Amino acid sequence: MNHRKEKIESLLARLVGEFLSHEAGPMSLITVTHVAYNEKTNHASVFITVLPESQEKTALAFAKRKSSDLRAFVKEHINMRTLPVFIFFIDIGEKNRQRVDDISAMDNKSAENS
């Protein structure tokens, strides 16, 4: 991956995170885990996690509903030739990693108690 693309993805992730934390209510915590930007298609895939998990569908719908406001926010903070179209996804990979960590922690506690 080239340095320019990494820099754009990092900046977009930070801006999307700022926007969502400002716009979202206190009912759930939405965290941007990463952004994958495709310059050819001009799409930015935004991967998020939501706490509590029971609010995932609501938070995903909220993020999708706010995507045009997000584009306006990004336009104010970054100078790009064309603004990307933001597509939101629940980060399943991050959920799986957390689950593996939880299982590993339980195994370690059970081994200590043996």
What are the mean pLDDT values of the chain's consecutive 10-residue runs (114 residues total)? 88 96 83 94 95 90 95 93 94 74 69 65
Considering its fold, how many domains does the chain have in total? 1
Q: If residue 73 lies in a helix (H) or strand (E), which one and from where to where?
A: helix 67-77
The CATH number of whichever domain residue 97 belongs to comes to 3.30.300.20
Looking at 78-114, list the stretches that DSSP marks H as alpha helix, in order from N- to C-terminal side.
Answer: 92-113
Q: What DSSP letter does each residue of 31-56 carry, written as one string?
A: EEEEEEEETTTTEEEEEEEEESGGGH
Q: Look up the domain containing 32 and give its range.
A: 3-113
Residue 84 confidence (pLDDT): 94
In sequence order, the 6+-apart residues with CB closer than 8 A to the CB of 44 are: 9, 12, 35, 36, 37, 38, 84, 85, 86, 87
